[in-house]
Amino acid sequence: MTFFPSSAAALPRALMAALVFIGAFGLAAPAFAQGAEDAETLTVETYRGDVTVPRTPETVVVYDLSALDTLDALGIEIDGVPDAPYPDRLSRFGKGGPTKVGTLFEPDLEAVNALQPDLIVTGGRSSDKTDTLSGIAPTIDMTVDEGDYLESAIDRTEALAAIFGKSEEAGEAIAKLRASIEDLRSRAQDAGTGLILLTTGNKVSAFGPGSRFGILHDAYGIAPADSGFGEGNHGEAVSFEYIAETNPDWLFAIDRDAAIGQGSAAALLDNELVRGTTAWSTGQVVDLDPGDWYLAASGLRAMQSAVDQVSKALSQEGS
């Protein structure tokens, strides 16, 4: 028969002291081990859930241009990047830049492995390769949630900054971004309706709230000329007749062909039907920077630049 003391007094004094200590503070040894682990790693939120990564990794491979824009803004050295079209701001990562590790859509696993990276960053176009790359090194998918684009993009920025000990710098840039957006929203209240279009080849696609470029409406406050679009990454193909019938006060155009170095589709909108819209007749057609909007849209500097572009256009309304 096992005997259990009926009172605390029956317990040896040393054992009682140990129990009181454990009850008050928990088991000291595991907490210390966890603390030691936290000095070298941290857990960040990604598109695929929480991932534990090393702090201040030394060798970094980046497959997402938005993440690259953010990391470059924070002064982080990057060791491997894809062979891809780059925004002007990131052109130094092109030919002659860091080691090329495949493309945005198809990583060169041999080249990545040769670098022995401490961290790999994917997102957007390279998101599907996250699992494959995670077999080489800790890999984080920094794709943003298009349904809550701005806040998701800021979350990704904060996560990247935390990994490299750059939270203070990122915080200052984010505060500036939020202030710029608030100023833009105040301008947008009386600006009328807007329609954002992506041109490529001989095709035009339109985007509405909650879509890839829906930040124009969701965060910046531009009233949508048409709220009937579904949420998605590719928008909806539209005709020039549709643009004329919708007749927005503002047209915001992104030239995909210019972004990827395949000429320009900007002249596509210069036709009789589009010229008849309020936007065209009042000089309120805005050619957005395709590098910021199409290639690195959720990057820290790209987001600030995008806000500044729209804000500048609205400040010149009617001029």
Question: Could you tell me if 63 and 107 are in contact, meaning their C-beta atoms sit under 8 angstroms apart?
Answer: yes
Residue 97, domain member (yes or no):
yes
**Which CATH number does the domain housing residue 129 bear?**
3.40.50.1980
Residue 14, domain member (yes or no):
no
Q: Hey, what are 146's tokens?
A: 């298009």
Residue 242, domain member (yes or no):
yes
Q: Hey, what are 232's tokens?
A: 């998605």
Q: Specify the residue for token string 């824009």.
A: 69
Burial classification of residue 213, based on how many CB atoms lie within 10 Å of its CB (0-12 exposed, 13-18 middle, 19 or more buried): buried
Residue 175, domain member (yes or no):
no
List the chain pLDDT tens, one digit each, 319 residues.
Answer: 333 333 333 334 333 343 333 343 333 332 222 333 478 999 999 999 999 999 999 999 999 999 999 999 999 999 999 999 999 999 999 988 899 999 999 999 999 999 999 999 999 999 999 999 999 999 999 999 988 999 999 999 999 999 999 999 999 999 999 999 999 999 999 999 999 999 998 899 999 998 889 999 999 999 999 987 766 566 899 999 999 999 999 999 999 999 988 877 778 899 999 999 999 999 999 999 999 999 999 999 999 999 999 999 999 865 4
Quick one: 164 and 194 in the same domain? no
Q: What is the number of domains present in the chain?
A: 2
Quick one: 199 and 163 in the same domain? no
Burial classification of residue 92, based on how many CB atoms lie within 10 Å of its CB (0-12 exposed, 13-18 middle, 19 or more buried): exposed
Nearest one of 131, 133, 93 to 110, comparing CA atoms: 133
Q: Hey, what are 52's tokens?
A: 């534990």
Quick one: 64 and 159 in the same domain? yes
Quick one: 159 and 209 in the same domain? no
In this prediction, residue 96 carries a pLDDT of 83
Quick one: 291 and 213 in the same domain? yes
The residue type at 35 = G
Quick one: 160 and 197 in the same domain? no
Residue 70 lies in domain: 38-168
Q: Hey, what are 234's tokens?
A: 């590719």
In this prediction, residue 232 carries a pLDDT of 59
Phi, psi of 119 (to 5 degrees): -155, 140
What value, to the nearest 5°, has the Cα angle with vertex 47 and ends 44 and 52? 25
pTM of the model: 0.85
**Please, what is the angle between helix 300-315 and helix 149-163, to 10°?**
140
